[in-house]
Amino acid sequence: MKRLLLTSIIAAAILGLLSLAGCNTSRGLGDIDRSEAEIVFEDTVTVGDIKWELLEAENLGPNLESQYGTSFQSREGKLIYISFAVTNMGEEIRQIFDVKVVDDKGDYYSVCTEAYGYFTAPAVCTVQDAIPDVRQEFNASFDIPIESVDLLLEVTDLRVPADEKVYIDIGL
């Protein structure tokens, strides 16, 4: 019982510190030319030998509340949550280093790792192995400007650098 209480106190303290820090995502302003991007409107797409499935996309608004009563505030304006699955149909392990969301202006936003403590699902999508023949589910959060619309999820063949990229319209 004491261990559970101590764990809860430590988790609340960490979430409190993260909420003060905000999201430190990398971003590129106008870096992606949407007129040249391959945009798909299906929830499932195969890029090279990697199958991507968009499971859920949601605008969470300007802040998140944790189960411990702490709050995480968006620095940019709104937080976006995406759940997706990856199946590596190749023969070698690939790694997911990051996924990106692209807005209507071609600006991209990387994963907001600081917000992960506010979700109950532990499968984050930064530096994860994509094991051959295994379907794996991941969650990602993004801190983006409130005016960003027509969002796309960038998915690749998970090669470094990527040989192929496709953009899934997430409906937000």
61: phi > 0 → left, psi -120 to 50 → alpha, else beta; which?
left
Residue of 163 and 15 predicted with greater confidence = 163
Of the candidates 64, 57, 169, the one whose C-alpha atom is nearest the C-alpha of residue 115 is 64
Measured between alpha carbons, how far is 138 from 66 in angstroms, rounded to an integer? Answer: 19
Side chain identity at residue 13, one-letter code:
A
- pLDDT at position 113, please? 72
Structural domains counted in the chain = 1
CB within 8 Å of 101: residues ≥ 6 apart: 80, 82, 108, 109, 142, 144, 151, 152, 153, 154, 170
Q: How far apart are CA 164 and CA 159, in angstroms?
A: 8
The domain that contains 151 carries what CATH number? 2.60.40.1240
Report pLDDT digits (tens) over 61-81: 998 887 777 888 888 999 999
pLDDT one-digit tens code per residue, 25-65: 566 777 899 999 999 999 999 999 999 999 999 999 998 88
> Where residue 120 falls among pLDDT bands split at 50, 70, 90?
low
DSSP string of 102-118, one letter each residue: E-TTS-EEE--GGGGGG
Which domain range does residue 100 map to?
A: 2-169
Tell me: the pLDDT tens digits for 133-168? 999 998 888 999 999 999 999 999 999 999 999 999
The angle at the Cα of 138, spanning 133 to 144, to the nearest 5 degrees, equals 140
Residue 121 confidence (pLDDT) above 60: no
Closest CA relative to residue 101, chosen from 33, 169, 157, 160: 169
CA nearest neighbour of 135 among 82, 84, 83, 86: 86
